[in-house]
Amino acid sequence: MSFPRKFCTFVVNVLCLPLHLMKAVGLYEYYKRVFPFCVYRISITYNKKMHDKKKELFHSVPEFSDSGKPVKILEIGCGSGTNFEFYPSGSRVTCCDPNPHFRKFLKKSMEQNDHLSYDSFVVSSGEDMSSVGDECVDVVVCTLVLCTVRDITQTLREVHRVLRKGGAFFFMEHVVADPSTWSHFFQHVLQPLWYYFGDGCEVTRETWKYLEAAGFSELQLRHIETPLMFAIKPHIVGYAVK
């Protein structure tokens, strides 16, 4: 790490001392009640800008139906349900999120997307979905979530476990920028502050490396540049088959 980046990161960390203290004494947990509202508002803008990319990604979901039956989908980190509009009609959706305060916004999205049926809302992290059975879903979806999980490798193990043979894991995640860019520099500098704003989000992750090492039988992965702010402009998008 270059000295300028180290110094700037140190300065940001110092400015974040009140936030570090709030987290240490447990006060940051109150933000989790506000965070769903923030995500709901931001997701509206994100979906407008990424509509075509999402539509293209989820176009392949019906291909993973089991013998023509309705597709069984498990969405990890479902948030406020902003992906529902892109799922094929008749799909059965199980929602999973560690933050129970998303229920209000999730219910609203369910009402707006009555082309789907909803099995349950599981309050759990991606690393431990023990309440979801083995090989019970056709498709697992994860968008803008692998940046926040504590253990990507364990999360992908859980994805493997719940997917039936021949099922697919669909993902759309922001990742660290190319090291030669200013985006890469500022991603690292602003990471201490971004962590709190994004409820644990890390913009400096090389998520594609975890997917490449996860042992899927097939991996379709693309790096793209999105029409979003610099910190989350670089994305990976695609799907992996069990």
Using a 10 angstrom Cβ sphere, with 0-12 exposed, 13-18 middle and 19 or more buried, the burial of residue 13 is middle
Instruction: Report pLDDT digits (tens) over 98-130.
Output: 999 999 999 999 999 999 999 999 999 999 999
Torsion of CA 208, 213, 215, 218, to 10 degrees: 40
Domains of the chain, residue spans: 3-241
33 has pLDDT over 70: yes
Class of domain 3-241: alpha beta
Helix 103-112 vs helix 31-58: crossing angle, to nearest 10:
30
Instruction: Report pLDDT digits (tens) over 135-192.
Output: 999 999 999 999 999 999 999 999 999 999 999 999 999 999 999 999 999 999 999 9
Instruction: Report pLDDT digits (tens) over 197-213.
Output: 999 999 999 999 999 99
Cα–Cα dist 124/130, whole Å = 9
Q: For residue 118, which of 84, 147, 69, 152 has the smallest C-alpha distance? A: 84
